Structure 1
Amino acid sequence: GPVSNRQDGSYAHDVVVSPDGAYVFVCDLGADVIRVIRPASSACKDAAHVADIPLRAGSGPRHLKFFVDAAKGKTFAYLSSEFANTITSFLYAPTASSDEVLQQIGEPSFSSPPALPLGGNKADGPKRTLAEVQVAPNGRFVFASNRGDSQEDSISVLTRGDNGRASWTYWYRSGGLNPRHFDVSPDGQYLSVANQDSGNVVVLRVSDKDGSLDKVATLGGLPKVAFAGFAPADK
């Protein structure tokens, strides 16, 4: 890809299985594509690479998250693009051809205010970059973590429209630097944010009304923390 110091070859940054198990999706940050693989029922070695979904050159696809919308009887997917600083919304269409199994819904949405300078350079990419993406269990909101601020980074809240497209609504301080990962609690009431460079995990409360965030706890003394997940809800 055009970000030469980060895209000098294929770079499988995330591997995700569709909720129905029919496909495996690989976010290739180096090649600016989502690779579509159809697993075989017998063995992984028989899996077939059936399509590539092209993305904007230099966008850097990083993470993909699915959301099953039971009320609409549809499944959606949300892609974070690290260098473009965007969230792209897709409809998952498993009965379509392999190259159309993810159908983009409208234009990607910026994960931060569109007028915000991203900095950086062509070879290394922007100074501000997008990392994690998560979907609220109730499907009302999509969350994204933004990195590259010199003082304190942020978590963005995007609102899902009737057609499933996520659009930027708010952003809030992450409580530290480089929120490489965050998770949503199974009940959707909290986010746990791993701020890698400041070595802390911050817990944010999610408003039921509008998805706004409020810091409720901080755990420090965690050098280079890169993950902060919640245990799955009891079945």
Structure 2
Amino acid sequence: MKLFLPLSLLLCFSLKAQQYHLLVGTYTNAGSEGIYTYKFDVQTGKTTANGSVKTTNPSYLAVSPDQKYVFAVNENDSGTVSAFKFNKENGALTFLNTVTSAGAHPCYISVNKKGTVAVAGNYSSGTIAVMEIRSDGQLSQPKQIIQLKGSSVNRSRQEKSHVHATVFSPDFRHLLVPDLGTDKVMLYSVAPNSGALQAMEEPYADVNAGAGPRHIDFHPKLEIAYLIEELTGTISVFKYKEGQLELLQNTSSHPLSYIGAFGSADIHVSPDGRFLYASNRGDANSIAIFSIDQETGMLQIAGFQPTLGIHPRNFSIDPTGNFLLVANRDSDEIVIFRIDKKTGLLDDTKQRINVSKPVCVKWIVTK
């Protein structure tokens, strides 16, 4: 006699066979240790603390494709990047080495598909650093440094170049670099073996003057990229193809009646590609929720969710798409929302992670 299990039960067994680990980067000027690790239950949204590792101001994290290594920028005047080994059995991080980020206040790092190259962006100095990842997870000193130059109309925030992200395209053949200081998204081709960057023939895409491009994310199925613009609280929707961007739409991440200060921060597409989420700081402290047209990639507002905390610098969606976690920096708390997959709206689970100055949330999935 054959036994057949319901699909829901099989899915439950599959999820339980995998371990979901949450990594939290912090600012360490108010009592934080550095990076904290947790086990995360993707059925309930509950977390269990594993521990922490000391490192200074790990404000942005990246995970190697094989889930064995974690890389953190150390956002200081003399910027550095640190490498750690991840223990999938207990969630612990072990320090490997630290190298210069070739600039001041690095705020972003990403890793190529092969796990052999890391690219860091330095905000204050406007520099990009390309580093080799060795087979043992340690980082080399930067083998390529690119200095960006320019300014824009906001004299207090755009007096010079400010690199705010270094984002690989979905095929990892190109790198997109939002420069808040110049109102440009810089565009590079990536050498397949060395990871060296070469400016494209059309080296950048302009955004509206004073917008302040910050973070960018891609649709999982469409050739569409979404850019959050910090200074004007807006989102630009681009057609993306072969390292080039073509503007399709620009829309506000705030209600039309909003009159407070802007300070948009992070942006993510849901794993199923149906919804886009964007975080707003300033006076808003909200997550904007958009439905995505599945043919054009265009956005339509679906709602706004208060983050139930102050200064949502970063947020993340768990790999199953069940939960959205908001790192509220200035209220020292990560708020866990459940995602309604039909509407995209968020529901407070009443669960919190208490940690000083949380500013980055990343995931590791192991078996």
Q: TM-score, normalised by structure 1?
A: 0.85
* Larger Cα-atom Rg: 2
Report if aligned partners of 1:88, 1:109 keep a CA contact under 8 Å in 2. Answer: yes
Look up the match of 1:86.
234
Quote the Cα distance in structure 2 between the aligned partners of 1:138 and 1:217. 25
Look up the match of 1:207.
340
Deviation at 1:220, TM superposition (A): 5.1
Q: Which has the higher strand share?
A: 2
Quote the Cα distance in structure 1 between the aligned partners of 2:246 and 2:297. 11
Amino acid at match of 1:108: N
Give the secondary structure class of the aligned counterpart of 1:114: coil
Match of 1:26 among 177, 182, 204: 177
Amino acid at match of 1:65: D
Report if aligned partners of 1:109, 1:168 keep a CA contact under 8 Å in 2. Answer: no
Work out whether 1:180 is the aligned partner of 2:313.
yes
Match of 1:130 among 253, 256, 264: 264
Deviation at 1:115, TM superposition (A): 2.4
Amino acid at match of 1:19: P
Deviation at 1:145, TM superposition (A): 0.6
Quote the Cα distance in structure 2 between the aligned partners of 1:220 and 1:148. 22
Report if aligned partners of 1:172, 1:213 keep a CA contact under 8 Å in 2. Answer: yes
Quote the Cα distance in structure 2 between the aligned partners of 1:134 and 1:200. 20
Work out whether 1:154 is the aligned partner of 2:154.
no
5+ long unaligned stretches in structure 2? 1-151
Give the secondary structure class of the aligned counterpart of 2:219: strand
Look up the match of 1:49.
199
Look up the match of 1:123.
none
Deviation at 1:169, TM superposition (A): 2.0
Report if aligned partners of 2:173, 2:191 keep a CA contact under 8 Å in 1. Answer: no
Amino acid at match of 2:279: S
Deviation at 1:5, TM superposition (A): 1.4
Quote the Cα distance in structure 2 between the aligned partners of 1:221 and 1:77. 33
Look up the match of 2:188.
37
Report if aligned partners of 2:291, 2:302 keep a CA contact under 8 Å in 1. Answer: yes
Instruction: Report the aligned-residue RMSD.
Output: 1.7
Amino acid at match of 2:155: S
Deviation at 1:204, TM superposition (A): 0.3
Look up the match of 2:360.
227
Deviation at 1:68, TM superposition (A): 2.5
Could you list the per-position Cα deviations for residues 122-155 of structure 1 after superposition, in whole angstroms to 9, with x for gaps in the alignment? xxxxx22111000000111000111122xx7211
Question: Are residues 164 and 15 of structure 1, via their aligned partners in 2, closer, same or farther at CA, if it must alter by over 3 Å?
Answer: same
Could you list the per-position Cα deviations for residues 91-135 of structure 1 after superposition, in whole angstroms to 9, with x for gaps in the alignment? 2111xxx5xx11222x311111122113xxxxxxxx221110000
Give the secondary structure class of the aligned counterpart of 1:228: strand
Could you list the per-position Cα deviations for residues 34-82 of structure 1 after superposition, in whole angstroms to 9, with x for gaps in the alignment? 000111234344x21121101111000000011221xxxx322110000
Look up the match of 1:115.
257
Aligned residues: 213
5+ long unaligned stretches in structure 1? 119-126
Q: TM-score, normalised by structure 2?
A: 0.55
Amino acid at match of 2:281: R
Match of 1:144 among 269, 278, 284: 278
Work out whether 1:189 is the aligned partner of 2:322.
yes
